[in-house]
Amino acid sequence: METLPLKDIHLPSPINFWPPAPGWWCLAILLPLLAVLLRTVYKRIRRRTAAKTAAKLLSEIRRDNPSDIKQTLAALSALLRRVAISTAPRQDVASLRGEAWLAYLDQSLADAPFSQGPGRCLADGHYRQTPPAEAELEALFELCERWLKQQAKKP
């Protein structure tokens, strides 16, 4: 018997680290995009939920309209502030008072109704000699509803 000339086993060349396979490139692109998309969807859901809950609370405040108008104004102001804090960065909203607060509320509406319209009584209603009239209070409720709807529409 004759021995055959056999060659030794051929090992494959080592796998290089670079360049990565196309699947890793896709993953590197898709993961950040997915993170941004999830964050955007989360913010939108949080904003809409806050606006819907606030709309329900606003209707309760309107329905349970107590005889103390100052208490109603305080409840409206607190409701708007809670929505603003839950939909915007807390450090931008929580410390606002007076004219700065009204200017912040005006940002989402075209016609500055908080600084120059019925929303003005949120800042000075507690200090007036005579409380706001029923018509003025009703206009304030409608303005708050309009502001809440605008907050729900924001991206």
Domain of 73 in residue numbering reads as: 48-153
- What is the 3-state secondary structure of 94-152? CCCCHHHHHHHHHCCCCCCHHHHCHHHHHHHCCCCCCCCCHHHHHHHHHHHHHHHHHHH
Q: Quick check: is 10 in a domain? A: no
User: What is the model's pLDDT at position 66?
Assistant: 65
On whether residue 39 sits in a domain, the answer given is no
Q: Could you tell me if residue 23 is inside a domain? A: no
pLDDT tens for residues 90-130?
899 999 988 999 999 999 888 889 999 889 888 887 777 78
Q: How many domains does the chain have?
A: 1
pTM for this one?
Answer: 0.76
* Tokens coding 85: 């804090």
Residue 38 lies in a domain: no
Confidence label for 31 from pLDDT (cuts 50, 70 and 90): very high
Instruction: Indicate whether 67 pLDDT > 80.
Output: no
58: in domain? yes
The pLDDT assigned to 134 comes to 84
Whether 143 is in a domain gets the answer yes
Residue 111 resides in a domain: yes
Is 2 inside a domain boundary? no
